[in-house]
């Protein structure tokens, strides 16, 4: 039986333009997320995994790993579908700032704003620079920065 051909649902390079804004759905960070990420990454730092230790810190509670939150933000961006089947490579993270801690029970959402595009016709795509603003349930920015992704040109 031959596979059924599918079409990418993502946006092609030429569909992106500076000023576009895409908002993801939300996702709540759980204790299980933090424990699983600690196991996967090997980062069992006490500020992430030791509730009793954290009671003695100025923050007073466990915080999610920053790289965990970036990973969740990446998943939320992927769930929008705009990159599905049309992204060639993820090229760069730049100007990333960790602004506020993310706690167990916080719900994060990502606002993606297209900053610029640069076509590379010879390789069949172009860079799209996207500013990500990761916000918590109180609409406070918890981290932000830029991603550069190489997106496919629309087939001729």
Residue 127 lies in a domain: yes
Crossing angle (nearest 10°) for helices 31-41 and 66-79: 110
- Asked if residue 86 lies in contact with residue 92, where contact means CB atoms within 8 angstroms, the answer is no
pTM of the model: 0.90
Residue 102 lies in a domain: yes
Residue 39 lies in a domain: yes
Task: Supply the range of the domain harboring residue 54.
Answer: 13-152
Closest residue by Cα to residue 22 from 118, 128, 150, 98: 128
CB atoms within 10 A of CB 132: 21
Exposed, middle or buried: residue 149 (CB in 10 Å: 0-12, 13-18, 19+)? Answer: buried
Domain harbouring 51, CATH code: 3.10.129.10
Give the chain's domain count. 1
Residue 5 lies in a domain: no
pLDDT tens, residue order, the chain (156 aa):
666 655 668 999 999 999 999 999 999 999 999 999 999 999 999 999 999 999 999 999 999 999 999 999 999 999 999 999 999 999 999 999 999 999 999 999 999 999 999 999 899 999 999 999 999 999 999 999 999 999 999 987
Residue 8 lies in a domain: no
Residue 138 lies in a domain: yes
């Amino acid at each position: 039986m031959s596979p059924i051909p599918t079409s990418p649902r993502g946006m092609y390079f030429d569909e992106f333009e500076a000023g576009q804004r895409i908002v993801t759905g939300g996702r709540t960070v759980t204790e299980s997320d933090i424990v699983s990420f600690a196991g996967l990454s090997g980062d069992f730092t006490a500020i992430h995994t030791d509730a009793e230790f954290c009671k003695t810190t100025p923050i007073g509670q466990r915080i999610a790993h920053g790289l965990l939150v970036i990973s969740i933000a990446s998943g939320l961006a992927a769930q929008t579908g705009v990159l599905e089947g049309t992204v060639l490579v993820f090229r760069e993270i730049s100007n990333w700032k960790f602004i506020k801690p993310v706690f167990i029970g916080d719900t994060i959402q990502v606002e993606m704003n297209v900053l610029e595009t640069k076509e590379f016709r010879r390789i069949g795509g172009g860079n799209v620079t996207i500013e990500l603003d990761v916000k918590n349930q109180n609409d406070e920015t918890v981290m932000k920065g830029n991603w550069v992704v190489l997106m496919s040109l629309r087939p001729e």
